[in-house]
């Protein structure tokens, strides 16, 4: 048995079915969560000028600036992914992943493990999936996360996700982007 893959069984409905499943999952997130995921993907994947698109005020510009600096570790993180369950390379990898996760959870826009997983499997790739429950729990349990939010975050991870014996290696296909709203 493997962790529930939100994209369905490996041989099912192909790429179009996977994209639709991912779009449905994304649509289920709150508007603020969707916005933060799109912004984070723009910063983390260097898709667009995140300051121009996403900074509505000085506080948000400062947050994007910090995020841009922290997300420079993503390239290193992708290269240092541990091969197998042994301790080799574990500390630097998990340390970086928890540090990035703590920043993102501390922004108060990722409301659940599923939103966090959705973002990080796009930022770091499908191979990071087995490490996400541990990093999420570690970051969510840090003292800088307000206690009520800490509780809600930790309760959002299912037992199946926390104890999965295996993970899908299928890369995500849907990467939500900024959408210009037409003038009303």
Q: pLDDT for 56-100, tens place per residue?
A: 999 999 999 999 999 999 999 999 988 766 677 788 899 999 999
Is 126 inside a domain boundary?
yes
pLDDT for residue 127 is more than 70: yes
**What's the confidence (pLDDT) of residue 8?**
43
Q: Please list, in sequence order, all residues whose beta carbon lies within 8 angstroms of the beta carbon of residue 158, skipping any fewer than 6 positions away.
A: 113
How many domains are contained in the chain?
Answer: 1
Is 7 inside a domain boundary?
no
With tokens 């991912």, the residue in question is 22
Give the model confidence (pLDDT) of 102-126 as tens digits.
Answer: 999 999 999 999 999 999 999 999 9
pLDDT for residue 37 is more than 70: yes
Distance between CA atoms of 75 and 159, rounded to whole angstroms? 30
| Closest CA relative to residue 38, chosen from 64, 62, 16, 20 | 64
Q: Please list, in sequence order, all residues whose beta carbon lies within 8 angstroms of the beta carbon of residue 8, skipping any fewer than 6 positions away.
A: 17, 18, 21
Is 20 inside a domain boundary?
yes
- Of 15-24, 130-139, 147-156, the poorest mean pLDDT is in 15-24
**What's the confidence (pLDDT) of residue 142?**
97
Range of the domain at 80: 14-162
**What's the confidence (pLDDT) of residue 94?**
92
């Amino acid at each position: 048995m493997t962790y529930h893959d939100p994209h369905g069984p490996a041989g099912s409905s192909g790429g179009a079915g996977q994209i639709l499943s991912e779009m449905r999952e994304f649509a289920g997130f709150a508007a603020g969560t969707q916005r933060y995921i799109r912004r984070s993907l723009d910063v983390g994947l260097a898709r667009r000028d995140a300051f121009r698109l996403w900074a509505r005020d000085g506080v948000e510009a400062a947050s994007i600036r910090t995020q841009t600096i922290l997300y420079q570790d993503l390239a290193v993180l992708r290269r240092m992914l541990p091969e197998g369950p042994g301790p080799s390379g574990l500390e630097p990898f998990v340390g970086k992943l928890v540090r990035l996760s703590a920043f993102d959870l501390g922004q108060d826009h990722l409301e659940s493990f599923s939103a966090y997983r959705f973002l990080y499997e796009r930022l770091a790739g499908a191979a990071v999936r087995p490490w996400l429950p541990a990093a999420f729990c570690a970051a969510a349990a840090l003292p800088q996360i307000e206690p009520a939010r800490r509780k809600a975050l930790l309760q959002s991870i299912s037992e199946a996700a926390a104890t999965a014996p295996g993970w899908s290696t299928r890369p995500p296909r849907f990467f939500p982007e900024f959408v210009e709203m037409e003038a009303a």
